[in-house]
Amino acid sequence: MSTVTTDPHAHAEHEHHGPAKGLKRWLYTTNHKDIGTLYLLFSLLMFFIGGAMAMVIRAELFQPGLQIVDPNFFNQMTTVHGLIMVFGAVMPAFTGLANWLIPMMIGAPDMALPRMNNWSFWILPFAFSILLASLFMEGGGPSFGWTFYAPLSTTYSNDSTALFVFSVHIMGISSIMGAINVIVTIMNLRAPGMTYMKMPLFVWTWFITAYLLIAVMPVLAGVVTMVLTDKYFGTSFFDAAGGGDPVLFQHIFWFFGHPEVYIMILPAFGIISSIVPTFSRKPLFGYASMVYATSSIALLSFLVWAHHMFTTGMPVAAELFFMYCTMLIAVPTGVKVFNWVATMWRGAMTFEVPMMFSLAFIVLFTIGGFSGLMLAITPADFQYHDTYFVVAHFHYVLVTGAVFSIMAAAYYWLPKWTGHMYDETLGQWHFWCSLISVNVLFFPMHFVGLAGMPRRIPDYALQFADFNALISIGGFAFGLSQLLFVWLVVKCIKGGEKATDQVWEGAEGLEWTIASPAPYHSFTTPPEIK
């Protein structure tokens, strides 16, 4: 029987050989902190690989005409960039945060299923190696967009499709194992007295996210398997000539795809709900309403999938249903934004880097939400569909949303992870460079999209040239800004000012306010915390 330890430097104990060293330690580790670190570092690596692909896309679109890459390779870049950012950067980063923080937030010694935890991480490098290796096949890698619509992925694709399907299966297995682990840990290992309605909001958002993952990952597995059999085994799920329906593909894919988008934003809500109270020196406003809002977002996410399909010729009744359900999601999301603003209202706010990223998240995620409302309006969506307006919308949600929240979390918990304070000046530089460049990158996309520029095309009309040059400059600047972050993390791991028990100055005695209900009905510091 193995003993569980929460020591950050704990090694996997072996019966006769003592603690494992070097590579063996990381390979065999069942310590939630080690595995959280592995996830976070892997996610950072994938963020740069996916980012390099985005740089190829932006270099090609810097001016009109075909200049740098072949159109087929351009399509491969858009496909693999999307897959890597979703499954390789954002999701593993949130899983890494869950591994590090959930046991500590609920008072558990470790995750409930530590060996499965190890496995769920170590299959990921193989999944992404397979996906990246497909780019070197004869005919190139997958070039059908990250949504791999049939018949592009079935009839008109090359043999890299098989590798793509295999790698997606492995990613899905990893996600499901991670989700099972989170649910079992939260349900069984909470400290005595920690009821569900006393859990920190980060724990709540991950609890709900884990159920979403278990519900939708099998749907993705099903649809990629149908693509595989259509391509290689003569089935006709999506082939009209054989009695199938290509629109069926879109229904199944988006039934996975839309909840997936919320899987990538709900943990971000939990992070922001942890950081905003700390730097406002106030308890989170409306804890219970935040829990109910998160749950209703998760439930509604299953009722809106066909808003991606307004142009497929649905009956008007269906279009109305999906339009109203989509607009309804704005209500619980609005509740969250108002609660964060109410938490800051008349708080003694300070503006360290985690708070800066959180404030940027609130403002810019809201912009992404508003453009989402525009896309929800069926007749308007006929105009916006498949233009750069859609690209602008989901990048505001996923870059200034999910990625900024991960940055905020990294700055907020780095002192806890490394024992050292990060360099505040360098962090501020990273924040301002990222904030300015990300808006130069994505905001003009709204304009070219509304003017009719289609997405996923390696060339464009001359009228879009000036805006595209600006967008590409913003893209390169944003990419370079992230090198500051790597430098900061390396500096922080190597040493620096020692982190104290009370990292964030002025928050003395307020640890209890962070994102879960106050233990007393008064807002004074409870005596035992003084």
The residue that leads in pLDDT, 33 or 501, is: 33
Question: Residue 63: pLDDT above 80?
Answer: yes
Q: Pairing relation of β-strands 18-19 and 13-14? A: antiparallel
**CA dihedral sign, ordered 273, 274, 276, 280:** positive
DSSP alpha helix (H) spans, 90-141:
91-106, 114-122, 124-133
Q: What is the CATH number of the domain that holds 298?
A: 1.20.210.10
Query: Does 523 reside within a domain?
Result: no
Mean pLDDT of 167-196: 97
The pLDDT confidence band at residue 14, using thresholds 50, 70 and 90, is: very low
Average pLDDT over residues 62-68: 94
Q: Which two tokens stand for residue 451?
A: 């003017």
Q: What percent of the chain has pLDDT over 90?
A: 88
Residue 527 within a domain: no
| pLDDT tens figures, 504-523 | 765 544 444 455 665 444 34
pLDDT score for 121: 98
339 within domain boundaries: yes
Is position 16 within any domain?
no
> 12 in a domain, yes or no?
no
pLDDT over 90 at 255, yes or no: yes
Q: Indicate the pLDDT class of residue 324, thresholds 50, 70 and 90.
A: very high
Closest by CA to 95, choosing from 175, 168, 25, is 175
- pLDDT tens-digit map of 371-423: 999 999 999 999 999 999 999 999 999 999 999 999 999 999 999 999 999 99
Active site residues: 81, 110, 146, 174-175, 258, 260, 262, 273, 307-308, 333, 336, 455
> Strand locations in 12-151, DSSP E?
13-14, 18-19
- Residue 2: predicted pLDDT: 42
Token couple for 220:
């993705």
Which position has the token pair 């099972």? 180
pLDDT of residue 11: 45
Is 452 inside a domain boundary?
yes
pLDDT in tens, 421-449: 999 999 999 999 999 999 999 999 999 99
Answer for the pair 453, 390: CB distance below 8 angstroms, yes or no: no
Q: Is 238 helix (H, G, I), strand (E, B) or coil?
A: coil
In a domain, 439, yes or no: yes
**Residue 346 CB-density burial (10 A; 0-12 exposed, 13-18 middle, 19+ buried):** exposed
Residue 356 lies inside a defined structural domain of this protein: yes
Mean pLDDT of the chain: 92
pLDDT band (50, 70, 90) for residue 499:
confident
Q: At what angle do helices 160-188 and 91-106 cross, to 10 degrees?
A: 10
Number of domains in the chain: 1
Select from 403, 311, 460 the least CA-distant residue to 93: 403
Closest-CA residue to 346 (of 287, 282, 284, 288): 282
Per-residue pLDDT tens digits for 18-59: 567 889 999 999 999 999 999 999 999 999 999 999 999 999
What's the confidence (pLDDT) of residue 501? 75
Site of tokens 């409306």: 286
Q: Is the pLDDT of residue 159 over 70?
A: yes
Q: Which residues contact 123 (CB under 8 A, 6 or more apart)?
A: 170, 173, 174
Q: How would you label 86-117 residue by residue, b for 16+ Cβ within 10 Å and e otherwise? A: bbbbbbbbbbbbbbbbbbebbebebbbbbeeb
Distances (CA, A) of 438 to 152, 171, 188, 408, 458: 31, 28, 41, 15, 21
**pLDDT for res 495:** 86
**Can you give the pLDDT at residue 510?**
47
Domain that holds residue 119: 32-512
Res 81 pLDDT > 50:
yes
